[in-house]
Amino acid sequence: MGRRVQRQLQDGVGRAPRGVDAVQTGCQGRANSALRDRGSGGRHADLAARHRECSRDAVRIGDRPAAQRAEPARGQGVPGRREDPSGRQLRRLQRAQLERAEPVQLPVGADVSVRHGRQRRHPAGARRTTGRDVPVLAVASTAGAVLPRAAPPALVRGVPRITRWRPDSDYCAESVCRLLRFIVEPGARILNIRCETGRLLDAVSPSYGVGVESRQPLVEAARARYPRFTFIQSDPDRLDLPERFDYILVNDLSDTVDLVAGIERLVPLCEPHTRIVVCGYTRLWRRRLAFAEGDVHGLLQTAGFRVVRTHRLILMPMRIPFVSELVNRIAACLPLVSKLCMVSVVVARPEPKAVSADSVSVSVVVPCRNERGNVAAAVERMPRLGRHTEILFCDDRSTDGTGDEVRRAIARNPDRDIRLIDGPGICKADNVWTGFRASRGDILIILDADLTVMPEELPHFVRALTDGRAELANGSRMAYPMQKSAMSRSHVIGNRMMSAIFSYLLDHPVKDTLCGTKALWRRDWERIEAQLGSWGVQDRWGDHELLLGAGRLQLAIVDVPVHYQERVHGVSKMVGVASNLFRMLRLCAAAGPRLKTGS
């Protein structure tokens, strides 16, 4: 009988006979229940009269126009009914669609009961019963209550399955905002699709923020709450803006009519460095919470975007002091366990456009310390890259005359742009940063002065950037066979260990984290420079600092295979393997939770 009442209530709007049947069925069921409880004594006549009176009232209600058979007015509830979080959220969702409805007052004595929840309180003398969930805004009770209309079909299909159980929405929102503050650079130009009341837009602190929302009440609330931002009422698949943004945050597209069109509308709004950030659910939670991570990947690729990275968070979607933080900030970062997280944040970039290699200038930074015997060979073997090649020797206070050898090389090659930069004498990382700051090229390349990586392979790094495949080209010495004495066994083991850790932290395979040859665009270096030293542990070599900075900025990292050879002159500066490995592990431990969950 419960399913029949539900169907009658859903279909009864605008059709009086079925609405009357629904009311009469409820009255008949109540009367029969009372008869069974009280027996067949002298109260038969009273109960029958009560049933006939209720039926006449129901007929009078059913004869009214459909617009008058409406939901409760704003703020009205059901006497005697305990409000629960899921009920409040269901009311809030439906109230936005039913604001024009006019309530209909039932006469005193009318008793129309639609059961909602596990138990329902009834007037005195009636039996307490249990029932099935009915997806309506409210239920009618005694005098002064209102008769609800069934919820719209789309809302009935989408909401009740979720509202039976909901995570702690405030706690989940705080976790997502924390991750987005880590991903999004402060002071950027940001567009927020499905901004609701603007909370997410405010959390990332943009210099210029635009929010798009299809529901007018939410747009008005957002404008009143955050007047410094611009809010527009529009559907995502009809969005048309003459601006471009650094980040586009997509909160939810599950109720958009044309999802592909909604994503394709974002393409004209993107710069080459723009990042699309889509919040969704992982596959494990899809049946309960609808939009899945795999669906987001497919939509982005169909619309012409490349997925760069996927973050997963919220393993325990409720706030329990200490326990929630331990589970969601540490356990949720572990391999395999992260697959169980509820929320996935997918980051994508526009399909890259190729740039002519002859249209860019290249600066090759050569950090050196006591590498006097390799300076001349580095200049002679250096290929001409782009429209102009700049070679910067960063002498980190050498004691073997490396600086003098560089000056002689400059005098012998007047047709080459060669400069000598004095390093700080602290570590290789600071020496490289000094060279980057002094460079003038569009593309920056690091080439170690020991020449164990051949200079002839540098054009591969330039092509990886100009073709758009990479935003950070990382050299990989593990692709080709190497000479036995080129790398010691302890270095091989440590390198493979760090590669496995960084591949997990960056959610992208990195086969060689300690190769000194790397290339990136100057504009990206300027963004990474602002983050140097923010991880809590100093990186003395600079390789991990670049990888972590690229991971935080959601840059595309691509391995470029290189040949690794034995050193010809000088000795290796990579000593103290155990202490260096311990420092690197500390750096990974400090950076891991931030890269994964933003905490």
Distance CA 24, CA 3 (A): 15
Complete DSSP assignment for 539-565? -SSSHHHHHHHHHHTTPPEEEEE--B-
Backbone angles phi, psi at 243, to 5 degrees: -125, 170
Q: Which residue's entry shows tokens 């723009």?
A: 274
Enter the CATH code of domain 357-597.
3.90.550.10
List the alpha helices (DSSP H) in 129-276.
153-158, 160-163, 169-183, 199-203, 216-225, 259-264
Domain with CATH 3.40.50.150 in the chain: 169-350
Phi-psi domain of 268 (left: phi exceeds 0; alpha: psi -120 through 50; beta: other): alpha
pTM higher than the cut 0.75: no
Q: How many Cβ atoms from other residues are within 10 Å of residue 75's Cβ?
A: 6
**84 DSSP β-pair partners:** none
CA distance to 41, 108, 143, 171, per residue, from 47 (Å): 11, 16, 18, 51
> In 3-state terms, what secondary structure has residue 268?
helix
Q: Is 281 exposed, middle or buried (0-12, 13-18, 19+ CB in 10 A)?
A: buried
Fold of 169-350: Rossmann fold (3.40.50)
In tens digits, the chain (599 residues) has pLDDT values of: 444 444 444 444 434 443 434 434 444 444 444 444 444 444 444 544 554 554 444 444 444 444 444 444 444 444 444 444 455 555 565 555 544 444 444 344 434 333 333 333 444 443 333 333 333 333 333 333 333 333 333 333 333 333 333 455 678 888 888 999 999 998 999 999 989 889 889 999 999 999 999 889 999 999 999 999 999 999 888 888 999 999 999 987 666 777 888 888 899 999 999 999 998 766 556 554 445 566 778 888 888 899 999 888 888 888 888 888 888 888 888 888 887 888 888 999 999 889 999 999 999 999 999 999 999 999 999 999 999 999 999 999 999 999 999 999 999 999 999 999 998 988 899 999 999 999 999 999 999 999 999 999 999 999 999 999 999 999 999 888 887 777 888 888 888 999 999 999 998 899 999 899 999 999 999 999 998 988 888 888 899 999 999 999 999 999 999 999 888 787 777 777 778 888 899 999 889 888 888 77
Residue count of the chain, please give it. Answer: 599
Domain with CATH 3.90.550.10 in the chain: 357-597
Cβ contact 588:505 at 8 Å: yes
Distance CA 598, CA 341 (A): 15
Complete DSSP assignment for 350-365? EPP----GGGSEEEEE
